[in-house]
Amino acid sequence: MRYRETGVDVHRGDAVKRDIAARIRATWGDAVVPVPGGFCGVMRWPAGERWMAATMDGVGTKLHLALAEGRLPGACADLVYHCADDLLAHGARPLAFLDYIAQARLEPEVVRDAVDGMARACAEVGAALLGGETAQMPDTYLPGVVDVAGCMIGEIDPVLFRDGSRVLPGDRLLGLASDGLHTNGFSLARKVLTVSELASGDPLPGGDGETLADALLAPHRWYGRAVLPTLTDPGLHALAHVTGGGIAGNLVRVLPARARAIVATRAWERPALFRWIAAAGSVPEDDMRDTFNLGIGMVLVVAADAAGRVSAALAAAGERVHEIGRVEEGERGVAWEDAGGRG
């Protein structure tokens, strides 16, 4: 099963994004800090000493599964965590969040559940739920579903700002364990669930007894609690949030020219959920890599002599850290290395 067949054409979206980049840049002026491939936008605040970061995201098709399972609050909390991790990738701390909830006909319980999940997650990441809009559009939305999008605003101490510019050959890749699919790959995962012989309430094959629904809808992990304190470490060179496009598709966003990242696929154990998806959906390995986080929700690029202390600090803060590869001089990009044992 190829990812495109499920209805989400990643590459078509990318082409659109390139086409419109010039029009967007024309609005930037001097205040915007260009972050090519950035996970969020960054601009200098008028007051001077801080920068502002902001990102817009949708929950995506995780909403459908969440609605079907009666777990909408969790999927909407995930939107907040997702945005907060996008800010974190550039060293930003959450300040505020605003949401957009739209349906064919507004169902009060759906709106309440969505806000409930977002408010809970906002409190957790330290963002004020500053505003929101509910829209009722019977000629736009299919009946019985909901779309939820949100914008998170954060602040950056310019000293702690990270992009790809500090990354050097010799750096190590630290992978922070994910808690499941997070918010990406659900169009494919739902399709696999449909063609498989299992129901969402069945146990995940190879799992620890959790149901497929539990595994698929596990919350998007917020890495800020552990990672924000490590931003003062000059050995932490860059951060990549593993979202749509998988590990390689996101890690490349923080690589400078002439830097090639090598990801050792056997450096960590792929969680049972991803193994089941690949098997039940006959999903080729390339598609698995392009679509899913495969168990790594955030990649930190760190100086070789800092890898130990950063890793220890993150582990002490509750993260499961794997050294998953390295940066070499070479053509800018990410290569997968299948040889070698676990790191």
How many CB atoms neighbour CB 336 within 10 A? 15
Which range of residues in 52-60, 283-291, 309-317, 319-327 is near its own copies by CB under 8 A? 52-60
Q: Which helix (H) or strand (E) holds 279?
A: helix 272-280
| 309 contact partners, CB below 8 Å, separation of at least 6 | 233, 235
Buried b (16+ CB within 10 A) or exposed e, 211-248: bbbbbbbbbbbbbbebbbebbeeebbbbbbbbbbbbbb
Q: Does 270 bind its own copies (CB under 8 A)?
A: no
Q: Contact with its own copies (CB under 8 A): which of 134, 196, 200, 265?
A: 134
Q: Does 36 bind its own copies (CB under 8 A)?
A: no
Q: Does 17 bind its own copies (CB under 8 A)?
A: yes
Nearer to its own copies, 140 or 335 (CB): 140
75: left (phi over 0), alpha (psi -120 to 50) or beta: alpha
Nearer to its own copies, 63 or 310 (CB): 63
Which range of residues in 23-31, 159-167, 246-254, 315-323 is near its own copies by CB under 8 A? 23-31
Contact characters 154-193, its own copies, x per CB under 8 A: -x--------------------------------------
| Rounded Cα–Cα distance for residues 42 and 25 (Å) | 13
Tokens of residue 40, six digits: 């969020």
Nearer to its own copies, 20 or 257 (CB): 20
Q: Does 116 bind its own copies (CB under 8 A)?
A: yes
Q: Does 8 bind its own copies (CB under 8 A)?
A: yes
Enumerate residues 84-103 that contact its own copies by CB under 8 A.
Answer: 95-96, 98-100, 102
For the chain, how long is the longest CA-to-CA vector?
58
Contact characters 209-248, its own copies, x per CB under 8 A: ----------------------------------------
Q: Which residues share a beta bridge with 325?
A: 173, 263
- CA–CA–CA angle 271, 81, 18 (5° rounding): 90
Q: Does 57 bind its own copies (CB under 8 A)?
A: yes
To its own copies, the closest distance from the beta carbon of 201 in angstroms equals 21
Q: Contact with its own copies (CB under 8 A): which of 88, 92, 127, 327?
A: 127
Which range of residues in 59-67, 249-257, 263-271, 292-300 is near its own copies by CB under 8 A? 59-67
Strand 172-177 relative to strand 296-302: parallel, antiparallel, unpaired?
antiparallel
Q: Does 64 bind its own copies (CB under 8 A)?
A: yes
Q: Which residues share a beta bridge with 49?
A: none
Strand 147-156 relative to strand 259-264: parallel, antiparallel, unpaired?
unpaired
Tokens of residue 120, six digits: 């809970």
| Rounded Cα–Cα distance for residues 120 and 9 (Å) | 32
Q: Contact with its own copies (CB under 8 A): which of 1, 50, 198, 309?
A: 50
Nearer to its own copies, 12 or 332 (CB): 12
Q: How many residues bind its own copies (CB under 8 A)?
A: 76
To its own copies, the closest distance from the beta carbon of 155 in angstroms equals 5
Q: How many residues does the chain have?
A: 343
Q: Contact with its own copies (CB under 8 A): which of 24, 195, 199, 312?
A: 24
